[in-house]
Amino acid sequence: MPFTGEGEALWQYGSGWLAALPAGGMIRCERQQVPGREVAVPGSAGSNPVRINFIPPLHLSFALDASRATGSTLLSLTATSTTSTIMDLSKAHVLVTGGSAGIGRATAKLLIDRGAQVAVCGRNEARLRAVAEEIGALAVPADVSQESEVERLVETVVRDLGGYDVLINNAGIGTFATLLETTAEQMRQIWEINVLGATLVARESARHFVANGGGNIVNVVSTSGQRAGAGGSAYASSKFALAGLTQSWRAELRKHDIRVMQVNPSEVITEFFERSGRTQKDDPTKLQAEDIAHTIASMLELDDRAFITETTVWATNPSS
């Protein structure tokens, strides 16, 4: 007897599933981040497992074409691959803010090396495009402190990457002055990028993630967001604020299967110091951008059912 049937299922975890269908069966994926994907099941009889990769969760509907179906095998859809205990970075779609230099660039490169599709943003367009071409990322110039630019950034990434499920909220600047010398302009500039900018990108990303049923946000904070020192009025206060925002967003977004994580690098050898008016000695015993990239990749790789809320990274034994 030809079998005809339809149904639906929601598969939350893992990176794929197997479908055993009678010949002629068709599987249609809905709400797949790669839209419009339709998979015809080949084979003539019996079970014919088909593996489909997707960014979880996947809401799929299935239907059999009765005119082509033969045999009496009942339709069976079996979710598998939950045995995978890590998030598969090769299927991740990622936006890295401040991806043209330092920690952002190293993180984008590492994730691309692991097979992820990555978009990077930054303000200096020439530099951003050069780095993106070098590492194989999509370049989307944007200033995170400008709301309209952030909206356009997210729209572009969703369109050109076919959606994304990871935000590395990294763009940031520093400036250091004692309270007696701190200007209103310094406070405004730091807070507009490190706090307002991070919030705007997180908000737009979270809207996309909520609509898609899940995602990951990694806020790059700092040990300055745990303990402030002299000269930190603008910078340390902005990182304390981002640490607080991380907690609010985590409390709000967990129920949407969105993991909000925080990484606190200690001093890292990048251009950050020079750009914030200080000098930094190139010292191999201090943290390198790749160390933070590795930390972020490791946090992401934990199974979707679990997440590391916060990680602090120090140099083991810095010589200066």
Ligand X SMILES: NC(=O)c1ccc[n+]([C@@H]2O[C@H](COP(=O)([O-])OP(=O)(O)OC[C@H]3O[C@@H](n4cnc5c(N)ncnc54)[C@H](OP(=O)(O)O)[C@@H]3O)[C@@H](O)[C@H]2O)c1
Q: How far apart are CA 289 and CA 170, in angstroms?
A: 12
Looking at the Cβ atoms of 50 and 299, the one nearer to ligand X is 299
Q: Which of 109, 231, 265, 299 binds ligand X (CB under 6 A)?
A: 265
Determine if 103 is a binding residue for ligand X (CB under 6 A). yes
Q: How many C-beta atoms surround the C-beta of residue 181 within 10 A?
A: 10
Determine if 197 is a binding residue for ligand X (CB under 6 A). yes
User: 13 catalytic, yes or no?
Assistant: no
Q: Which of 51, 254, 275, 278 binds ligand X (CB under 6 A)?
A: 275
Q: Please list, in sequence order, all residues whose beta carbon lies within 8 angstroms of the beta carbon of residue 247, skipping any fewer than 6 positions away.
A: none
Stretch that binds ligand X, among 1-9, 39-47, 50-58, 172-180 (CB under 6 A): 172-180
Looking at the Cβ atoms of 170 and 182, the one nearer to ligand X is 170
Determine if 172 is a binding residue for ligand X (CB under 6 A). yes
Q: Please list, in sequence order, all residues whose beta carbon lies within 8 angstroms of the beta carbon of residue 68, skipping any fewer than 6 positions away.
A: 23, 24
- Let me know the angle formed at the C-alpha of 220 by 175 and 53, rounded to the nearest 5 degrees: 150
Binding mask 112-151 for ligand X (x = CB under 6 A): ---------xxxx--x---------------xxx------
Unique residue bearing structure tokens 């120090």 = 314
The minimum distance between CB 283 and ligand X, in angstroms, equals 12
DSSP E strands in the chain: the ranges are 6-11, 16-20, 25-30, 38-40, 50-53, 58-64, 76-78, 93-97, 117-121, 138-139, 166-169, 215-220, 258-265, 268-269, 287-288, 310-313
Q: How far apart are CA 33 and CA 116, in angstroms?
A: 14
* Beta strands 76-78 and 16-20, pairing class: antiparallel
Looking at the Cβ atoms of 78 and 124, the one nearer to ligand X is 124
Q: Which of 155, 185, 271, 303 binds ligand X (CB under 6 A)?
A: 271
HSE (side-chain half, CA atoms, 13 Å) at 133: 5
For 33, the enclosing helix (H) or strand (E) is none
Residue tagged active-site, from 17, 54, 209, 235: 235
Determine if 246 is a binding residue for ligand X (CB under 6 A). no
For 85, the enclosing helix (H) or strand (E) is none
Determine if 193 is a binding residue for ligand X (CB under 6 A). yes
Determine if 102 is a binding residue for ligand X (CB under 6 A). yes
Q: Which of 21, 64, 89, 220 binds ligand X (CB under 6 A)?
A: 220
- CA nearest to 171, candidates 233, 87, 249, 107: 107
The minimum distance between CB 40 and ligand X, in angstroms, equals 44
Looking at the Cβ atoms of 103 and 299, the one nearer to ligand X is 103
The minimum distance between CB 261 and ligand X, in angstroms, equals 14
Looking at the Cβ atoms of 21 and 236, the one nearer to ligand X is 236
Q: How far apart are CA 90 and CA 88, in angstroms?
A: 5
The minimum distance between CB 268 and ligand X, in angstroms, equals 4
Determine if 233 is a binding residue for ligand X (CB under 6 A). no
Size of the site for ligand X (CB under 6 A): 31
User: Sheet of 25-30: strands edge to edge?
Assistant: 6-11, 58-64, 25-30, 38-40
Residues found in the chain: 320
The minimum distance between CB 85 and ligand X, in angstroms, equals 29
Q: Which residues contribute to the site for ligand X (CB under 6 A)?
A: 97-98, 100-104, 121-124, 127, 143-145, 170-174, 193, 197, 220, 222, 265, 267-268, 270-272, 275
Catalytically active residues, by annotation: 235
